[in-house]
Amino acid sequence: MKIIIAPSKTNSLEKIIDKPTRSPILPELSNSLLEYLSKLKKVDLAALLKIKGKILDETYEYYQLSKKNNMIIKAIDFYKGVVFEQLDLKSYTNEQIGYLNERLLILSALYGPLKPNSVIYPYRLDMTIRPMGINLYAYWQEYINDYFSIEEMIVNLSSDEFSKMIKDQKCFLNIHFYEQKGDKYLKSSSFDVKKARGQFLDSLVKSRITKRHRIKDIEIMGYAYSEEKSSEKDYVFIKKSLDT
């Protein structure tokens, strides 16, 4: 069993390794993208990524430093979005950290599937960008499908943007979060879904769950498994609204 989540645009360099003793071990596909992005002038990087100001300055510096191998960081320390904020990393036991590094994969437009302890260069890139004019879904497709080809179950806690990197989704177990208001079942807000995904992942890690039936037992933020609304490929967790 593997678990997939999306990366976040919010990041932190608090745990940067500024004197690395080794370079990240990257797929050749990553190296090609990294080489291209690091050669772009700042004005061209701004146009490609549609960014400006402080974010542009930081992103440009990331790619320049990658050429010198001057700055690397573990993936789990780099991403700091809502999902990642829900992980109680400081309290995890060695066994739980082992589970996290064995089971979790962060899907990245630049690096492909990343383990939490994978060492990377800081970056900014999403799947909608076309570096060198290429479609990143097509670019990663063969590598990604080979990577996940032996998996019997992939618990999908990722966004649509990144889960689509895996074309063959027959082994997906999609996790959905809905809010019940009277007789209506409404998709939860984007923020609540991200928070729920993070807390769901945290529960998986703390209980080191590997069996499908145990996933149904998770309850977070008032969300509980709905047998009626769920199917073999889609597990639906419902929270009753306070104003139901």
For the chain, the C-alpha Rg in angstroms (whole number) is 19
Q: What is the DSSP letter of 58?
A: H
Percent of the chain with pLDDT over 70: 99
When pLDDT is cut at 50, 70 and 90, the band that residue 25 belongs to is confident
Main-chain dihedrals φ then ψ at residue 48, nearest 5 degrees: -65, -50
Helix (H, G, I), strand (E, B) or coil at 69: coil
When pLDDT is cut at 50, 70 and 90, the band that residue 22 belongs to is confident
The answer to whether 108 touches 127, Cβ cutoff 8 Å, is: no
DSSP H or E run through 37: helix 28-39
The answer to whether 180 touches 237, Cβ cutoff 8 Å, is: no
Cα 47 to Cα 108: distance, rounded to the nearest angstrom? 21
Cα 103 to Cα 96: distance, rounded to the nearest angstrom? 10
What pLDDT is attached to residue 23? 77
For residues 186 and 30, the model is more confident at 30
What pLDDT digit, counting tens, does each position of 31-76 carry? 999 999 999 999 999 999 999 999 999 999 999 989 888 889 999 9
- Name beta bridge partners: 114: 106
For 125, other C-beta atoms within 10 Å of its C-beta total: 21
Helix (H, G, I), strand (E, B) or coil at 179: strand
Taking each helix axis as running N to C, give the angle between helix 136-147 and helix 28-39, from 0 to 180 degrees, rounded to the nearest 10: 150
The answer to whether 34 touches 121, Cβ cutoff 8 Å, is: yes
Domain of residue 30, residue span: 2-240
Q: Which long-range contacts (CB under 8 A, 24 or more apart) does 181-184 make?
A: 181/241, 181/243, 181/244, 182/244
Residue 90, pLDDT > 90, answer: yes
**Residues written for the chain:** 244
The answer to whether 152 touches 143, Cβ cutoff 8 Å, is: no
**Average of pLDDT values for 131-153?**
95
What pLDDT is attached to residue 244? 47
**Average of pLDDT values for 8-21?**
89
The pairing of strands 224-225 and 184-187 is unpaired
The answer to whether 205 touches 86, Cβ cutoff 8 Å, is: no
Q: Give me the number of domains the chain comprises.
A: 1
